[in-house]
Amino acid sequence: MKTIGIIGGISWVSTVDYYRYLNTGINDAAGGLNFAQCIIYSFNYAEIKKNNDANDWDATLQLITKASKHLQESGADAILLAANTMHVIADKLQQQISIPIIHIADATAEAIQQKQLTKIGLLGTRFTMEMDFFTSRLHAKNIEVLIPGEEERAFIHYTIFEELGRAVFTQETKKRYLQIIQNLVDNGAEGIILGCTEIPLLIQPGDVSVSLFDTAQIHVQAAVAFALKDC
């Protein structure tokens, strides 16, 4: 079994799920007492958030590169960035390390193609919704991406950091998310990408009428496949 290096703490809430999904995924596939062979490097998220708010992605890249090299030197065979937003530096990070990065957007695009959908709504941080590091990989697969309006994007971004990333989940926030999702569906979205790894803790498949793409679970499924390849 290959060893997965997880960059976590971005946030710790979703990192818990990544670890759980990876272990249950390996066990579902391999059975018995087989579980994930992995190493986790968990950040103090305040350091990452400070850089991101200042739009200093180079500083974040330095932190993530150092952590990834530690994982590589410790025996990791691939890197799993346990957050959508961190993939903004994924291409530059890949140039700094010799083991592959399992890219969350590539795995998500494949999952969408499997359902034969071509028009998708995207929720996430402002970075994920407004920058092209995620959407460009979907566009390359001929998947059209819809994002919420400015006010809705501001609400989603705020609640991700001030509520969901702190493990705070309220019915009021959930109701607003469902309204935003419905607006995207009304504009033609055939499915919705939950493009922040905390959002699936608030919104579940039974809450909406279209397919939901939980990027955390999709990402981990790709890691499971990598870990067990040739086993």
**In which order are the strands placed within the sheet that holds 78-81?**
38-42, 4-8, 78-81
Identify the bridge partners of residue 204 per DSSP, sorted by sequence position: none
> Which pLDDT does position 207 carry in this prediction?
94
> Which pLDDT does position 8 carry in this prediction?
95
Per the structure, the complete domain to which residue 74 belongs is given by 4-103+218-228
Identify the bridge partners of residue 193 per DSSP, sorted by sequence position: 122, 213
> Which pLDDT does position 127 carry in this prediction?
92
Which CATH number fits the domain that encloses residue 132? 3.40.50.1860
Q: Hey, which bits of 72-142 come out as E strands?
A: 78-81, 119-123
pLDDT, average across residues 109-120: 97
pLDDT in tens, 171-197: 999 999 999 999 999 999 999 999 988
CA dihedral 107, 110, 112, 114 (to 10 degrees): -140
Q: Are residues 223 and 182 in the same domain?
A: no
> Which pLDDT does position 11 carry in this prediction?
81
Q: Domain total for the chain?
A: 2
pLDDT, average across residues 56-71: 96
One-letter amino acid of 16? V
Q: Are residues 113 and 211 in the same domain?
A: yes
pTM of the predicted model, to two decimals?
0.90
One-letter amino acid of 125? T
Q: How far apart are CA 152 and CA 198, in angstroms?
A: 17
